[in-house]
Amino acid sequence: MWLYLAVLVGLYYLLRWYRERQVVSHLQDKFVFITGCDSGFGNLLARQLDLRGLRVLAACLTEQGAELLRNQTSDRLETVILDVTKTESIAAAAEWVKERVGDRGLWGLVNNAGTFPRHGCTEWLKIKTYMNTLQVNLIGLIEVTLSMLPLVRRARGRIVNVSSILGRIAFFGAGYSCSKYGVEAFSDILRRELQHFGVKISIIEPGYFRTVMTDVQKFSETMKQVWKEVPAHIKESYGQKFFDSYFDDMKQGILNCSTNLNLVTDCMEHALTSVHPRTRYSAGWDSQFFFIPLSYLPTSLADYILTRSWSKPAQVV
């Protein structure tokens, strides 16, 4: 019995490997619009797709980021300035894309732009931090998608939304996790609604990666500032010892993040170029072999595993 089961599993993965190796034809004629190309995943993906010969339309937040990207790529790549928190900026970018793709439509939309906000325990953060995070990571993604959707539908193309492992199992960063859970929900609904139009939706779920957003020095400074602004009665509840332990754990976590961003951009590239893209891509060894399996465990067991090393607040000890 076990032999038959092993054979069936082996055949399944062999068939999946064969299907996923099939590449879309005429890539050099296809346009891909990517948000958040100043640095990190977006910047690397833009350069990666440019090398594959695709027509990359890269959206950057700053002119400096756009100029740097143009200097690193071919003449095929074009850039536009985009702030995903501003409706007028999104509308202008959508019109800019429409002028370039014409009747061919937009083959790929990669919603990569995001922010990793000021960090701390849920009670330490102000509502403004939550609102800003949701505006960039979720509302901006939705508005960009809606503005580009007619062009993607015309090409029967692809939408690739960057979520996070924290969109599958949340254990810190309440605002960030909320935004990524929202990305997961929006992507699932969109995939089911657009399947009859031939549009495919993929979700990228990176584990821990070190990018500009998770710079250790910047992270340390902002977290200390968050703690400084916490009201006195809340500080008293948690205590300085708790903050110091929490701070050290978070800082060490960033230092242990992977710097191999290709693990993420290779997933994005596959979602755009494979005839049979996956619905979800878990990027990074920690995502595939720890967090995803953890998300299927009973909640009480997952809670214990994730919090067993945490210090106790002052008023609990």
DSSP per-residue letters across 194-263: HGGGT-EEEEEEE-SB--GGG-HHHHHHHHHHHHHHS-HHHHHHH-HHHHHHHHHHHHHHHHTSB--THH
Given the residues 176, 181, 238, 246, select the one marked as catalytic.
176
- Is 176 a known active-site residue? yes
What is the three-class DSSP state of 108? strand
Q: Which amino acid, one-letter code, is at 216?
A: V
Straight-line distance from the first to the last Cα atom of the chain, in angstroms, rounded to the nearest whole number: 53
Half-sphere exposure of 56 (CA within 13 A, CB side): 32
Q: How far apart are CA 34 and CA 42, in angstroms?
A: 7
Residue 127 contacts by C-beta under 8 Å, 6 or more apart in sequence? none
Q: How far apart are CA 261 and CA 213, in angstroms?
A: 13
Q: How far apart are CA 277 and CA 119, in angstroms?
A: 34
Say if residues 42 and 113 touch (Cβ distance below 8 Å).
Answer: yes
Residue 53 contacts by C-beta under 8 Å, 6 or more apart in sequence? 27, 28, 76
Residue 311's Cβ-count burial label (10 Å; 0-12, 13-18, 19+) is middle
Which of the residues are catalytic? 176
